[in-house]
Amino acid sequence: MKIILASASPRRRELLKQIVTEFEVIPSDAEEFIPNKIPPEIVTELASQKARAVADKTGNAGVETLIIGADTIVVHDGRILGKPRDEADACRMLRGLSGDSHFVYTGVCLLLMREDQVETDAFYERTEVLFYPMTGKEIEAYIKSGDPMDKAGAYGIQSGCGKYIRGIRGDYNNVVGLPVARLYQEMKERGFII
């Protein structure tokens, strides 16, 4: 079986290597359409859109192919925090997260192309993240590092922001961008991993 990760994220690539030794990376260029405001539905729909876009791009060459799409959002006080538009937006997000808790949702879509059939299944994982308070200088220094600019919620738990994380409730890897333990179990249950 050929496996394709429909993501340009180097973090997702590293996480997938924990459970799959050989896979191809084909980033999705799907224009994201968010149909509603319910976080689990948003992330599973966006993950599905990414997987379908890569399926349309690659087509079915007669080889059984599993495409894995994923999308992550941060939700704080009922508001969805995507990637910051600029440094001011990153500062606003980090001020809000400082000294508070929020949820990280990652949706995953498994799209299987087999002969002339396409099967899809999607799931999501949710993790609560608790932040220590951050001073204005700490927020400014973290933003100047550049780390927050390509991450939902304007922070990377696995990088420079880790020192401000008081705790998590749930899957750490989900916060990084791919709930590998759950993905492994879902793939195993479907016979994609032996």
Is residue 71 flagged as an active site residue? yes
Provide φ and ψ at 101, rounded to 5°: -120, 160
Question: d(Cα 10, Cα 5) in Å, to the nearest integer?
Answer: 11
Could you give the count of Cα atoms lying within 13 Å of 171 in the half-sphere of its Cβ?
17
Residues 6+ positions from 128 with CB-CB distance below 8 Å: 101, 102, 103, 104, 168, 169, 170
Active-site annotation holder among 29, 71, 86, 121: 71
Distance CA 2, CA 23 (A): 7
Helix (H, G, I), strand (E, B) or coil at 40: helix
Phi, psi torsion values for 100, nearest 5 degrees: -135, 180
Q: Distances from the Cα of 135 to the Cαs of 31, 132, 164, 168, in angstroms?
A: 36, 10, 10, 21
**Catalytic center residues:** 71
